[in-house]
Amino acid sequence: MTEISRRVTLAWIAAASASAFAAGPSKAAQNGSPSPWNDAAVPPITVPGYGHDPDLKAAAVPWPLTLNPHQRAILRLAADLMLPADARSPSGGSLPLDAFLDEWISAPYPQQQQDRALIVPGLAWLDEEAGRRLGLDFVSASDAQRRAVFDTVAFRDKVLPGYEQPAQFFARLRGLMLAGFYTLPEGIADIGYLGNTPLSGDYPGPTPEAMANLNASLIKLGLKPFSPG
Amino acid sequence: MTQPKSLPHGGFEPDVVIVGSGAAGGMAAYALTRAGIKTLVLEAGRDYDPVSESAMLKWNHEAPLRAISTPDKQFGYYDATAGGGWEVPGEPYVNAPGTTFRWWRSRMLGGRTNHWGRHVPRFGPYDFKGKSRDGFGADWPISYEDVAPYYDRTEKLIGVSGANSGLENHPDSSPGVLQPPSKPRVSELMIQAAAADLGIPCVPSHYAILTRAIEHRHAPRQACFYATPCGRGCAIGAAFQTTTSLLPMALGTGKLRIVTNAMVSRVVTDARGRAKGVEYFDRTTGSTHFTAARVVVLAASACESAKILFNSHTAQSPQGLANSSGQIGRSLMDSTGTDIFGHIPALEGRPRYNEDGKDNAHLYIPFWLYKEQAAGKLDFPRAYHYEIGGRFEMPGARFGLAGAEDGYGLSLKQDARRYYGAQVSFSVRGEMVPNADSYCELDPDAKDKYGLPVLRFHWKWSDHEYRQIAHGVKTAKQIIERMGGRVLTPEMPPEQAIQSGGEIIHEVGTTRMGSSAADSVTDGFGKTWDIDNLVIVDGGVFPSNAHKNPTLTIMALAWRSMDHLASRMRKGEI
Ligand SMILES: Cc1cc2nc3c(=O)[nH]c(=O)nc-3n(C[C@H](O)[C@H](O)[C@H](O)COP(=O)(O)OP(=O)(O)OC[C@H]3O[C@@H](n4cnc5c(N)ncnc54)[C@H](O)[C@@H]3O)c2cc1C
Ligand code: SF4
C-alpha cells in the first residue's frame, strides 16, 4: 500500500516536532491583532458508529449531520475559493463538499472528533476575522475580502504571528477538501484515475506513451531505459 | 462451564475436528476430505460469502467517510474483515506493562484469508536452517527438500501468478506451477532500473492471485479482472481465500461439515490423556457443546491455538495441554516492518493509464545479500525484502500531495494533478530472531466474555532487528535518491521506525516444532509430542520466521501434516 497511514504520519510528526516550532520570536501582528480562537463550545458526538460488521454493499452514514445552514454556506464559499472551477473540473462549492465535511466532523470516531474541534471553531473564526476586518460575516463579504482572510493563513511560510491556530485549521480544511473533491466522480475525471473498471484478458500494462515518457526520464537520470513494448 | 447439551451438526460424527477455517484450517479440511476422512470444521466467526458480500467496484465516495479506516473498520470501510480488527469485541488481550504487541483477528468463515495481502514468497533452504547458518534461534526439524513438493502442489492449487527469479535462497517453482506474471507499472519499472544500477534485484512478485481461471466443479475461479482492492475480498475468486476455494472444494467431497459461530474453548482429554474432542461455545446463544473425534487438529492461528492449549490444562498438565516442554507461547515472532516513502519528480505529471492491475506491486525486491551476510559483512544476521508501491491509485480519504499542500485556488488543483502518481513506497519486511522476552501466556486476571482467561503478550525487539531495519531504511533511501527523488520519511532511529510487534500480522512460533520433545511442542508433522492424536497446523509450529510472508508455508505444511495424519489413520495407528 502506498497510502501513508495515520500511524506513520503521527510518527513523522513526532520526529519533526523538535524542529517545527523553532520559528523564532513572534513579531507584532500586522493588520491589528487576529481574531481570538474559541474552541470552548464544540460539543462532542456521542452517537454510535456503523459497527464492526456493516453491510459493505449498502453503505449508509448512520450518524446525524450537525452543521447549520450558515456553516454549510461558509463551507461552500470556502470550497469555491479552495478549488475553483477550471477547464478540467467544476468548483469545490458546486460539488457536495459541504455535505462531506458535515458527515466527517459529525462522525463519532476519534480522528473525526479531533477534526471537529478544529473545523467548527475554524468556521466561526472565518466569520470573526471577516467581521473584525469588514464588519461583515464571511458569507456576506466579497470574494476579494474572503481572499484577504484566506491569505492570512493559507501559505505555510507566510502565516502571520498570532494566526497559528487558524492556519492549522486552514491546512486541515484544505486536506479534507482535497480528499472530498478528488474522490468524487468530477475529481476522479480531473485527476485522470482510469481504474476501477473490470478488464478481460491480461493486464495491459503501461501504454506506449507512458513507456516513452518513462524511458525519457530514465535517460535523464542516467539509468538504463526499457525496450519499448 | 455447563455440560454439553447436543450435537448441532445433524448427527454427523467426524473422525477429525479442525478448529478454524483460515489458511491452515481450510487447507487441513481440503487435504483430509480428499483422503476420504470425515471432517468437522468449527469456526468461531460468522458465516461469510465473498461472492455476495464483498464490495467489488464500489467507489470510496459511496462509503461513509470516503471509506477511511475507523475504530470500527480498522483497515477501511470496505475491508472484508468482519467482527474483528486489532480488537475483537468481548475477546480482549493484554499487553504486559511496558510492551506492545498488536493482534489482528477476524471472526468470519475463512479467517484472515478473506482480506490478506496474498504475497506468497517461498521459504528457501537457508530459512529452515537458520541456527546452523548463524547460531541464532532454532533449526527446523525438516528441510526445504521436505516441503518443496508441497510448495509446488500448494502453489498450483491456490493459484499463484509470478515468475521464477533463480536467485540465491529464493527457490524456483517447478515448471508449469506458476501462472503468468503481470506487466509491471511505470513506477515499478523505474524502481527496477534504479535498483539495478545499485546492484539490487527487483523481480516479479508471487501473489496468490489468478491470472488464469481455474475450473473446478465446486469452486470455479475467474482470472483477476484488475479492479477492486483484494482486501475487500474477491467475489470472482481470483484472489485466493478459503471461502471461494478450499472450503467449497472440501464440502464438495461430501466429507465435510462446517459449524460457524463455534468458539472452541478447550481440547478435552480422556483418562489416558488422549484427546477425545473439543468443547465450544455457540457464539450466538452462549451455550456450550462437546464434539467427539478421533483426532483434534488446531488451526485457529498461532496465538489462538496456544490460548486453547493453555485453557485446556488438566490436573496432569497444569501448565497447559501438550506443554511438557514449556514451549507453548514462547518464541513468539512477527516480521519486522517499516515503510519508507519518496516523492519522485521524474514521475510527476506522467501520462495516465489504468494502473490498478493486480492489487499489489507486480515486482518486488527479494533479499540479495546472503553472500555478504554469510561472510560476516553485515551487522545483522537475518534477511529482509521490500514490498514496493507507487501507482495511480483510486483516490481515497487520504488523498494528498505528499506534504506539499500549500495555498489555495487553481494552483492547488494544478499541484494535485502534478503530484498524483509520483510517490513510491518501500515496505521493509524482515526476519526477527526469536528471543526470550517475546512470548504470550494466560493473564492471571483478565477474562473474555465466555469467562475464559485471555492472552497476555510480552514483546521486545533486539539489536538484530534494529540494525536490519536501519539497513533497510538506508538502502531504500539510496534507491529513492537514485531516482532523483525526495525522501518523505523523516530521519528517525530504528527503535522508532520499526513497527510494533504483531503489526505486520505474521505472528508465528508459539507452538514450535522441533526434533526433541524436550524443547518443542510438535514433531515435524505438527503432531504434539505429548498427545498422539492432537495436531497443530497453523503458524504456531514455525521454529523461525523467514522474512518471507508465512502463509504459503503455513498451507504447504498443513497439507503435508494432514497427508501424514491420513496415512497414520489409514494404517490404524490412531
Ligand atoms: C491485512 C493482512 C494482510 C496480510 N498479508 C499477508 C500476505 O501478503 N502474505 C502472507 O503470507 N500473509 C499475510 N497475512 C497473514 C495471513 O493472513 C495469516 O498468516 C493467515 O491467515 C494465517 O492463517 P491461519 O489459518 O493460521 O489463521 P486465520 O486465517 O486467522 O484463521 C484462523 C481462524 O480460526 C478461527 N478461530 C480462532 N480461534 C478459534 C476458536 N477458539 N474456535 C474456533 N475458531 C477459532 C478464527 O476466527 C479464524 O477464522 C496478512 C494478514 C492481514 C490481516
Ligand atoms: S485485484 Fe483481482 S484478485 Fe484482487 S480483488 Fe480485484 S479482481 Fe480480485
Global pTM value: 0.95
Cα–ligand 2 centroid distance for B227 (angstroms) = 6
CA distance B453 to B469: 35
Contacts of B394 in chain A (CB under 8 A): 188, 193, 195-196
| Helix axis angle, B186-197 to A208-220, nearest 10° | 30
CA distance B200 to B167: 12
Contact A217 B190 (CB under 8 A): yes
- Give the domain ranges of chain A: 6-190
- The reply to whether ligand 2 has any atom less than 6 angstroms from the CB of B557 is no
Cα–ligand 2 centroid distance for B228 (angstroms) = 6
Contacts of A175 in chain B (CB under 8 A): 400, 405
| Closest A-chain CA to B338 | A8
Contacts of B408 in chain A (CB under 8 A): 81-83, 150, 154, 174
Helices (H), A106-207: 110-134, 143-151, 164-182, 185-191
Per 3-state DSSP, what percentage of chain A is helix, strand, and coil (rounded to 5)?
50, 0, 50
| Structure confidence at residue B8 (pLDDT) | 58
Residues in chain B: 574
CA distance B569 to B37: 9
Residues paired with residue B487 on neighbouring β-strands, in sequence order: B342
Q: Output the tens digit of pLDDT for each of chain B's 574 residues.
A: 223 334 456 679 999 999 999 999 999 999 999 999 999 999 999 999 999 999 999 999 999 999 999 999 999 999 999 989 999 999 999 999 999 999 999 999 999 999 999 999 999 999 999 999 999 999 999 999 999 999 999 999 999 999 999 999 999 999 999 999 999 999 999 999 999 999 999 999 999 999 999 999 999 999 999 999 999 999 999 999 999 999 999 999 999 999 999 999 999 999 999 999 999 999 999 999 999 999 999 999 999 999 999 999 999 999 999 999 999 999 999 999 999 999 999 999 999 999 999 999 999 999 999 999 999 999 999 999 999 999 999 999 999 998 999 999 999 999 999 999 999 999 999 999 999 999 999 999 999 999 999 999 999 999 999 999 999 999 999 999 999 999 999 999 999 999 999 999 999 999 999 999 999 999 999 999 999 999 999 999 999 999 999 999 999 999 999 999 999 999 999 9
Confidence label for A30 from pLDDT (cuts 50, 70 and 90): very low
Handedness of CA B19, B22, B28, B32 (dihedral sign): positive
Q: Please tell me which of the candidates B54, B85, B339 has its beta carbon nearest to residue A52.
A: B85
Residues paired with residue B256 on neighbouring β-strands, in sequence order: B39
Which atom, in ligand 2's list, is nearest to the CA of B235?
Answer: 8
**φ, ψ for residue B49, nearest 5 deg:** -130, 105
A56 touching B, CB under 8 A?
yes
Cα–ligand 2 centroid distance for B230 (angstroms) = 5
- The reply to whether ligand 1 has any atom less than 6 angstroms from the CB of B17 is no
Chain A residues 9-28 with a CB less than 8 Å from chain B: 11-12, 14-16
A154 touching B, CB under 8 A?
yes
**DSSP string spanning B178-247?**
SBPP-PPPHHHHHHHHHHHHTT---EE--BSB-SS-B--SS--BPPP-S-S-GGG--TTS-B--GGGTHH
Place of cell 481440503: B30
Ligand in nearest proximity to the CA of B113: 1
Q: Please tell me which of the candidates B53, B339, B397 has its beta carbon nearest to residue A179.
A: B397
Cα–ligand 1 centroid distance for B178 (angstroms) = 24
Q: Please tell me which of the candidates A154, A203, A214 has its beta carbon nearest to residue B358.
A: A203
Contacts of B80 in chain A (CB under 8 A): 56
Q: Give the β-pairing of B384-389 and B423-431.
A: antiparallel
- The reply to whether ligand 2 has any atom less than 6 angstroms from the CB of B80 is no
| Closest B-chain CA to A8 | B339
Residue pair B458/B437 in contact (Cβ under 8 Å)? The answer is yes
- The reply to whether ligand 2 has any atom less than 6 angstroms from the CB of B359 is yes
Helix (H, G, I), strand (E, B) or coil at B91: coil
How many CB pairs (< 8 A) connect A and B? 269
